[in-house]
Chain A
Amino acid sequence: GESVGLHLPTLSVQEGDNSIINCAYSNSASDYFIWYKQESGKGPQFIIDIRSNMDKRQGQRVTVLLNKTVKHLSLQIAATQPGDSAVYFCAENLGGTSYGKLTFGQGTILTVHP
């Protein structure tokens, strides 16, 4: 079946650097994407979402970019802080009759060094 995947399973950065986490998706029918952050012992925490009719969306210190041509999603974190250390998952929703069916990518471990 089709799935969401990530290019880099681990990413280490220095505090203050910008981080970029990538995600490749294979289902061209997906029309909604979400980035989640999961810290150890906690459930996934919503970071930012984007619909397929957009190519960029900004939040506080985070930006999500969507390239539908190459089916690629990225999460940019500005001025990365130690508290950003976590596993980051992208997730896609097919929409339509696939109500509530979020499919998660494999995750990227982000480690921020002070």
Chain B
Amino acid sequence: DTEVTQTPKHLVMGMTNKKSLKCEQHMGHRAMYWYKQKAKKPPELMFVYSYEKLSINESVPSRFSPECPNSSLLNLHLHALQPEDSALYLCASSQGRTTNEKLFFGSGTQLSVL
């Protein structure tokens, strides 16, 4: 299994809603990532988890809350989002052995905030 699976594929939410994005991989990878991608722009790093511990937070607003329940799962909890948070949210994973590793990406969750 060489896939990173993200659910849901599409999500529409209001600014007062609470929702969660889910990501799962079964490649035995120990590093997992959240990226945000606006239309026609490159992906931008949000968070990095290494061995289930948060190792990088790229100054992301607290309305985005990541969680890594175990080595195969990564969640992104959303609360009180703004319309400008509408984007494609990408999850990725890598082996977690060295700093120079290729990342495997999921297909993303297309989020629209109304």
Chain A residues proximal to chain B, CB less than 8 Å: 31-32, 34, 36, 41-46, 49, 51, 89, 93, 95-96, 98-107
- How many B residues face the partner with a CB closer than 8 A? 27
Of B11-19, B60-68, B70-78, B103-111, the one touching chain A: B103-111
Q: How far is the CB of B108 from chain A (nearest CB, A)?
A: 5
With A43-B90, A44-B90 already in contact, the answer to whether A93 and B43 are too (CB < 8 A) is no
Q: How many A-B residue pairs have CB under 8 A?
A: 67
Chain A facing B: main interface SS: strand
Chain B residues proximal to chain A, CB less than 8 Å: 4, 6, 31, 33, 40-45, 48, 50, 55-56, 90, 92, 94, 99-108
Residues of chain A within 8 A (CB-CB) of B42 are 89, 104-107
Contact call A101/B102, Cβ cutoff below 8 A: no
Residues of chain A within 8 A (CB-CB) of B43 are 44, 89, 104
